[in-house]
Each structure stands twice: as C-alpha cells, then as structure tokens.
Chains A and B, each alone.
Chain A
Amino acid sequence: MSLMTADQYEESLRRLNLVVYMFGKKLDNVVDDPIIRPSMQAVAKTYELAQRPEHEDIMTATSHISGKKINRFVHIHQSTADLVKKSKMGRLLGRETGCCFQRCVGMDALNALSIVTHNIDKKYSTSYKQRFLKYLEFVQENDFTCDGAMTDPKGDRSLPPHKQPDPDHYLHVVEEREDGIVVRGAKAHQTGAVNSHEIIVMPTIAMREEDKDYAVSFALPADAEGIFYIMGRQSCDTRKLEEGLMDRGNILFGGHEALVVFDNVFVPWDRVFMYKEYDFAGQLVEKFAAYHRQSYACKVGVGDVLIGAAQTAAEYNNAAKASHIKDKIIEMNHLNETLYCGCIACASEGHREPGGTYAVNGLLANIHKQNVTRFPYEISRIAQDIAGGLMVTMPAEQDFKSPATGKWLEKYYTAHCDAPTVNRMRILRLIENLTLGTAAVGYLTESMHGAGSPQAQRIMISRLVNIEEKKRAAKKLCGIEEE
C-alpha cells in the first residue's frame, strides 16, 4: 500500500478493536465519537496532503529500505534536507489544522530507535536494529500512524523507578517468557493515542542497573490485549456535543490525549527493541526528545493561524490601522518567525549518526523548544489583547439564531464593517479556541510540557553548550594567557 488515502486511514481505524473510556463509559464507536472525531480528522490530514501534488515534496519521502514513496511521518531521516523538510511539514500541517495533528511523535520514536538500536547492537552484539528495520518496513508498507509513548506517570518524583511505592508507576517487565515478555504500567498524556494503529513504548528517564526491569522499548498494535485508553478532558470539549459549529472555534480539527494502561500485556520478542540495557535508556530519551523538540515546528503553523485570526479580528473591529495594533501584529510575527528560525536551524545543523540516521543539532533543538515554552503564550496574550473582551463574553451560537435574541445581538455586535456580524463572532471563537479552548491544550500547555518541560531543556542546554570555548574566546581577546 505504501501511501494510504485519508478515507483508507479512517476505515483502517474502524478495523481496530480499541478499548477506550471517556466520561466514565466504554465507547462503542471511537471514530465517530463527536469529541474524538476532529482529532481523527487532523491525523487524516497527514494522509490527505501526502496525496496532493502541491504538498508531496514535503509530505512524502523515499524509503531507504524499500525505495518506495512513503509518507514522511514513517521515514527515517537520510540527510539534513530531510530534517529541514520535517520542520517545514510541521509548519504546513499546523497551519492547515490549527491544532496538534498527533503523528510526529511516532515519527520521532522511529527515528530515535533507528539510532539507539544500532548503538545497543554495537555494544552488546544484540540484533535489535535488524528487528527494528523489519518492524519499520511493516509500518512503512502499511502507512501506519504510531503513537510514541514515553511519559510514565512517575509517582513520587523524588524516587527512581525501582523505589516507587507502586512499581507500576513506571512501565516495567513483570515476566520473561520463551516467546516474549509481559509488561505492566501506563503512559500518560498520549497525544493521538486512539487515532494510532501502533504504539511504540520507550523508557521515560535515564536509568541505573537497579532500574533495568524498567529499561524496555517495544511496539504493539494499539488494540493488543491488555491495553486500554482513558481519554483526557479538554477545556470546552463538550461544545462538540452541542448543536451548531460556531462555538467550537475550529469547526474541523482538534487534538486529544489519553492515559494508556498496559495491564499485563504480552510483547513478542520480535517487537522488543530494548530489554534491560539500562545504560541506553538515557540515550533513547535524549534522541527522542531532541527530535520531538524539533517537532514543535508545528506551533509555528498554529501561530500563523492565530496571527491571521488576530489581524482579521482587528479588521472586523475597524481597528487594524491603529499603530499599536500594527505593532502588536509585528510582535506576533517576530515571535512566530523566531520559532521558525529555531526549528529550521536545528535541522540544517543536523548530523549523521553512526548507523546512518540523521539527527538534529541537540543544542539548537533544545533552544527551539525552550522558546516554544514561552512565545506561544505571548502570542496568545497579544491575540487576546487585539480580540477584545467579547471573545469571552459573547453569547452562544443558538442565541444568534434565536428569533428572540438574534436581532439584538446583530444590532449590538455589529462593528459596522463590511463583514457580517457572524463572521466577527467566528473569528473571535477561533481565537478563544486557540488560546483557552480545546486547541489551547496543544498550543499552550503542550508547548510548555510536551517533549519535556522547560527545565528539561535547560538541563540539556547546560550540558550541550561549550562553555570552555566561549571562555577561551573571551580570554584571548583581552590578553589573558593560561597554560
């Protein structure tokens, strides 16, 4: 198959037997659930754009295994040009969907594993890379969406995995069998989990020998026996259950997160890519994190949408010519394009790892993500400033349609511009959606904590920056001579 269409993707999800709970009930139909469906449509966009000539240059790549044309989301980066295209793909899809399109995490897991399985094999003469490549071929051939599952619930943050009062607070091996292993635990905040065909599990922190039962990486079908999903809530999520579309803000797309529970789940050996090699757990975390921090290129695309919405709102308010509004729009663009600089730079400055996979520049990827923890908040603040308070005080769509109230809302909420009042309300709802509604999960809090919280990047920045070279440069210029 190699490249699925959006329709084929949707149909393929219908064939999965996922066990999903939401609002205390088990769902009979995940794909058509009104709360979840917009997130499925966002993933479907990754399939749709790959089919379109005007986007195939970014959305597709040539498999280094089969030589076939594949979706870039299942590609292993073969050059810095591939890495740059990955960043551009993030911006494109962020702008097309205005939300998290969920598929980057699996791509980042695949690429991190392609590096680390090679490195484990070199040290321990194992055959993980061979297993991984066979799995990768399967994923590429079927054009699967993979959930990359790293974040454990972590329990007591002051304790390592093996000292947790509840050992399941980090996913771990509970049994070794001749044909595979049995694992138990959970992965939290899993973006796009129930829109995925496969789930790729990785450890969440660097580990020591005492934690070796927790140093495990593997892949399973998303509907493997013993895996179930408990959906996370999002601000304003039940607006998707209401009549009408306007109050959703983004009427087409959304994201989702879930807690994924592994209740004594069997993993066959051919799906295991790390087994108790605790000394490589940290490397897998770092490689994945660097790729995933680059992936926040998507927020630039979402930023494009928010800037466009703010400018439109200003025009609908007949305020766009005010100098302070112009300056605020400039500031939003400055911040957004600064983010773009980071994701392009870490890709352009990437390098070839020993196994042949190209990795991003770790320092620049962390710098980029650190900016992402801040700039979308400031962009959102300015957008709300420009939008005005009506964004959060306007009545419901039903009130605009009601014979009793509609005429009054039309009378008092017109801004005497060319645009119909309803359009003015639509653009305000979109800003609300992005800055404090369902999409704020992705644009704001995910920007803060996704791919690691701000402090995680600061630790990496301190480790990766070459402070000695900076000191040497300074001392040389002022005549300090040291041996």
Chain B
Amino acid sequence: MKRLKVAIKYCGGCNPDYDRVVLVKRIEERLNGKVEFVSAEDENIDLVLAVEGCKTACADLSAFKGIKIRSVTKIEDVEFLCIEHGHSA
C-alpha cells in the first residue's frame, strides 16, 4: 500500500508555547513506517503538517495550495494526529 507522504512545515518559532522540534521527533517516531516524511520541497506531498508554535498559527503555507494541511498548535495534538494515521498511543 502506498504510504502517505507528509511534509513538515514549521512556523518561525518566535515565541513558541512548546518545543516544536521535540514534537516533530515524537510524531516521526510514532508514525515511523506508517507514513513517509518528505521535504517541504517534494513535488508529491499528500499532507502538510503545519507545526505552529502557538494559536496565531502564522506559518507561511502559500507554497502548498491544493494540498491537505493539518495544523498542530500544542503538544497534545500529537495524539490526535497519530490516532488519525493509524498509531494508537
């Protein structure tokens, strides 16, 4: 089965409420083998994971028009995301 290609796009991280890099590492570990993490420049992205440091959610997503975008704005969002993509906690 074709694995979902997921690109990570961070906001700038001026004053984040949590450690975004740690969150992404956690997501990557949890979804290892279930989805394929690709560069934000990849031409065949299925899903963009917008990692926003706070509710302002200001990441520039203009390069991803027409692509499904899922935003995370807090550390708890990792659970929902992992469950959505087939990995229970």
Contact = CB atoms under 8 A, between A and B. Distances in A.
Interface of A: 53-59, 85, 88-89, 91-92, 95, 304
Contacts of B59: 57
A57 B15 contact: no
Contact of B12 (A59, A95, A304): A59
Contacts of B60: 57
B14 interface: yes
B12 A53 contact: no
Given A54-B10, A57-B13, 8 more contacts: A54-B13, A54-B21, A54-B51, A57-B59, A59-B12, A85-B12, A89-B12, A92-B12
B11 interface: yes
20 contacts: A53-B10, A53-B40, A54-B20, A54-B21, A55-B10, A55-B12, A55-B13, A56-B10, A57-B12, A57-B58, A58-B11, A58-B12, A58-B14, A85-B12, A88-B14, A92-B12, A92-B14, A92-B15, A95-B15, A304-B15
Contacts of A88: 12, 14-15
Contacts of A55: 10, 12-13
B31 interface: no
Interface in B38-69: 40, 51, 58-60
B8 A53 contact: yes
Interface residues of B, number: 14
A58 B58 CA distance: 10
B59 to A, nearest CB: 6
Interface string B20-39: 11000000000000000000
A83 B75 CA distance: 29
A58 B14 CA distance: 8
B39 to A, nearest CB: 9
B12 A56 contact: yes
Contacts of B14: 58, 88-89, 91-92
A304 B15 CA distance: 9
Contacts of B58: 57
Contacts of A57: 10-13, 58-60
Nearest to A304: B15
Contacts of B12: 55-59, 85, 88-89, 92
A326 to B, nearest CB: 20
Cβ-closest 5 pairs across A and B:
A58-B12, A88-B14, A57-B12, A54-B10, A92-B14
Contacts of B11: 57-58
B15 A58 contact: no
A249 B52 CA distance: 32
B69 to A, nearest CB: 14
B66 to A, nearest CB: 20
Nearest to A58: B12
A95 B51 CA distance: 20
Nearest to B53: A54
Candidate in A57, A92, A304 with the most chain B CB atoms within 10 angstroms: A57
A91 B13 contact: no
B32 to A, nearest CB: 19
